[in-house]
């Protein structure tokens, strides 16, 4: 998946003649805090909600004395590069340009969430196991071998870490909803289970909360 495949078709870029009030309205409608400004297909940069609020909202944004955020991705960049730039510059949208720096469109955080929500690994039913281990002990091939030995498959894996410790957390999406046998196997190999979740248990918890709410409302 590359950036050009994720471009939003619901949002248009700003013009320097747009007023601050108009831009704030667009941001509110689409739940974003940043929008790119484009002039004759060339990206000028990205303006933030805070920058607009610091100026005269009735004036055209082209009259503002701005130091626009110049972050962008190219249409051929991988999805991971898109996510990295959004996080690095703390943006809610990231502009996309071609190899000649012509503006192609923008990608929003919502676009990324929708992509992951609709992807195979998230849509496929299964269970989730979170392993905690020392960074030096991490081996995805070893983890996958253990899972596959139990006639299961890893649909996706995410690695997170705490900069204050040497610990890492491996979140595994497994293609089976019954994961107790896998948890027991990991524990047998001295892995620490930080957390585990099953779709069935989640639905039971959701139903319990719904029943509790209905009971409260009927009082």
Looking at the whole model, is its pTM more than 0.75?
no
Cα distances from 151 to residues 139, 143, 147, in angstroms, run 19, 13, 7
Residues 180, 196: Cα–Cα separation, whole Å: 9
List the one residue out of 153, 83, 161, 75 whose CA is nearest residue 115: 83
Mean pLDDT per segment of 10 residues, for the chain of length 219 residues? 90 96 96 95 95 95 90 93 91 95 94 76 80 94 96 91 89 91 96 85 56 59
All domains of the chain in start order, with CATH: 3-116 (3.10.580.10), 121-205 (3.30.70.260)
pLDDT at res. 219:
44
CA 112 to CA 130: how far, in whole Å?
23
The residue with tokens 């805070």 is 50
The H or E element spanning position 134 is strand 127-134
Do 45 and 68 touch, CB atoms closer than 8 A? yes
Residue 205 confidence (pLDDT)? 57
Burial class (CB in 10 A: 0-12, 13-18, 19+), 15: middle
pLDDT recorded at residue 115: 82
Q: Whose CA is closest to 71, among 97, 45, 90, 52? A: 45
Instruction: With CA atoms as reference, report the closest residue to 172 among 149, 152, 201.
Output: 152
* Spatial separation of the C-alpha atoms in residues 169 and 65, rounded to whole Å: 44
Q: Residues 89, 92, 93, CA angle at the centre, nearest 5°?
A: 90
Spatial CB neighbours of 61, under 8 Å, sequence gap ≥ 6: 14, 16, 18, 19, 20, 23, 37, 47, 52, 55
């Amino acid at each position: 998946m590359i950036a050009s495949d994720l471009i939003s078709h619901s949002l248009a870029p700003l013009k320097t003649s747009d007023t601050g009030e108009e831009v704030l309205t667009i941001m509110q409608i689409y739940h974003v805090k940043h929008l790119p400004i484009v002039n004759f297909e060339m990206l000028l940069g990205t303006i933030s909600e805070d920058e607009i609020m610091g100026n005269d909202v009735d004036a055209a944004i082209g009259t503002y004395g701005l130091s626009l955020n110049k972050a962008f991705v190219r249409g051929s960049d991988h999805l991971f590069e898109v996510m990295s730039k959004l996080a690095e510059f703390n943006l809610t949208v990231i502009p996309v340009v071609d190899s000649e720096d012509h503006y192609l469109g923008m990608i929003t955080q919502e676009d990324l969430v929708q992509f992951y929500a609709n992807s195979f690994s998230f849509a496929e039913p299964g269970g989730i196991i979170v392993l905690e281990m020392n960074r030096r002990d991490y081996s995805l091939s070893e983890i996958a071998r253990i899972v596959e030995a139990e006639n299961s498959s890893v649909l996706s894996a995410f690695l997170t870490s705490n900069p204050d410790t040497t610990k890492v957390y491996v979140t595994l999406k497994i293609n089976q909803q019954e994961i107790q046998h896998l948890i027991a196997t990991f524990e047998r190999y001295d892995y620490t289970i930080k957390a585990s979740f099953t779709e069935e248990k989640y639905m039971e918890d959701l139903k319990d909360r719904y029943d509790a709410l209905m009971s409260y409302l009927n009082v």
